[in-house]
Chain A
Amino acid sequence: MAYPTDAGNPQNVDGLDELLRSMADDEFVIGFSDSEWTGIAPLLEEDIAMSSLAQDELGHAQALYGLLAEVTGAADVDTLAYDREPADYRHARLLDHGRGDWAMTIARRYLYETADAVRLGALAGGSWAPLADLVGKLVREERYHLMHVGLWLDRLATTDGEPRDRLIAALDVLGPDSGTVFTPLRGEAALLDAGILAQSMAELEREWRSGLDPVFDRLGLPIPPPTRESARGRTDHGAAFGWLHGEFTAVRRTDPGATW
């Protein structure tokens, strides 16, 4: 094994399950939520593009749930994705905001993609090879996601009238939840000690904000305020997630335990 001996086996590091769960749930929730655009996006081509992005995220979630199953001994990926109660999901509160209109979807995804890119940067080259390898692949796919959502943010922000107005309204709603991707994780210190995570969530949030500010300044968009109730940024999911959870578990609940 190539694991550093001083850290023991990183697979046993406290907090690794929390890290994987938060990442997987983020990707799963935004992937499912954005898949709601399939069939109703503004243009046929954009419909396909957004559906493809959403599918990519579900693929990323699947890979991350796979690692989580390895760490926790969970039965399989589907059990992790579909068989938990809403309170057991650990996605960022940012993603509890429903897809809303097109501007809301773009604003939410832009905030998430930029935060995810910073987080992945702190995991690339980490000491637990299975995660570091996966992150290397995720980074390559997320690059296109960032390009695409950045293009839309730019267009909405620079088109006066309804596009810009709706974008600003969406950013105002997301405001204090924008930074919740960087909610401190239980066991974060152990992850840092083991070299799985290169920087703390607090440091990563500062890095994210310093990258976001000049973009929002240039486009004249409202800078996201400090995170509200930052310690509970991945728990206490509200009614909107309850509804989404009901949607994505609907088919599975028709016949619990069935082999599909």
Chain B
Amino acid sequence: MTARRAAKTSPSTDGPAPTPLEAWEVFRQEKDGDPMRHGGSVMAPDAELATHYAREMFGRRQESVRLWIVRRSDVVDLHDPDLLQPPLDRSFKKPGGYVMRDKLAAARAASGQEKPKASSGRWRRGAPPRTSERSES
């Protein structure tokens, strides 16, 4: 495992056992007011060196105004489909109400009608508002 690279040092070392490397996640802000976005990770034995390496990796070319450096093992990881992707239809929880696309498609299929073509004009009447379809309530 890469996190234990440091353990493989010269056997002639008679000092204390080397501190193992661990992963630190780095979040960066490109300019004031921007959200912190995940930039990547660095390997370091402690917060001080992690800060230096994060600066080298994600800040030395003036590409960031702020970095957050977080020990990966301190991150609370939630990755559970039962909690995050519940299987039943949740479209009624969205601000746009029910998503009609599937029902319309079924109704068209039943009546034998074709889907109306998108007009070449500026407004596409059939397109649902994208923002409301993505956001949740």
Q: Give the Cβ gap from B62 to chain A, nearest Cβ, in Å.
A: 11
Distance in angstroms from B123 CB to nearest chain A CB is 51
Nearest-neighbour CB distance to chain B for A219, whole angstroms, equals 15
Q: Which has the most chain B C-beta neighbours within 10 Å: A48, A49, A159?
A: A49
**What bracket does the count of chain A residues touching chain B fall in?**
10 to 19
A133 CB to nearest B CB, Å:
18
Give the CA-CA distance A52 to B52 in the complex, in Å. 11
Residues of B within 8 A of A43 (CB): 5-6, 21, 43
- Of B10, B12, B44, B48, which contacts A45 at CB under 8 A? B44
Task: For chain B, residues 2 to 58, give those with C-beta under 8 angstroms from any C-beta of chain A.
Answer: 5-6, 10, 12-16, 21, 42-44, 48-49, 52-53, 55-57
Once the chains are docked, how many angstroms separate the CA of A160 from the CA of B18? 11
**Which A positions have Cβ atoms within 8 angstroms of B?**
43-46, 48-49, 52, 144, 147-148, 151, 159-164
| Chain B: minimal CB distance from A119 (Å) | 24
Given contacts A48-B56, A147-B52, contact A162 B14 (CB under 8 A): yes
Contact A45 B15 (CB under 8 A): no
B59 CB, nearest partner CB in chain A, Å: 10
| B residues neighboring A (CB under 8 Å) | 5-6, 10, 12-16, 21, 42-44, 48-49, 52-53, 55-57, 60
Can you sample 24 A-B contacts with CB below 8 Å?
Answer: A43-B6, A44-B43, A45-B42, A45-B43, A45-B44, A45-B53, A45-B57, A46-B53, A48-B53, A48-B56, A48-B57, A49-B52, A49-B56, A52-B60, A147-B52, A151-B48, A151-B49, A159-B16, A160-B15, A161-B16, A162-B12, A162-B13, A162-B14, A163-B15
Closest-by-CB residue of B relative to A147 is: B52
Distance, CA A259 to CA B49, complexed state (A) = 42
Which residues of A sit under 8 angstroms from B16, Cβ to Cβ?
159-161
Contacts of A52 in B (CB 8 A): 56, 60
Tell me if A161 and B14 are in contact (CB < 8 A): yes
Of all chain B residues, which has the CB nearest A56?
Answer: B60
Complex Cα–Cα for A125 and B5 (A)? 47
Q: Determine whether the beta carbon of A45 is less than 8 Å from that of B13.
A: no
Which residues of chain B are near A48, meaning CB under 8 Å? 53, 56-57
Chain A residues, CB < 8 A from B56:
45, 48-49, 52
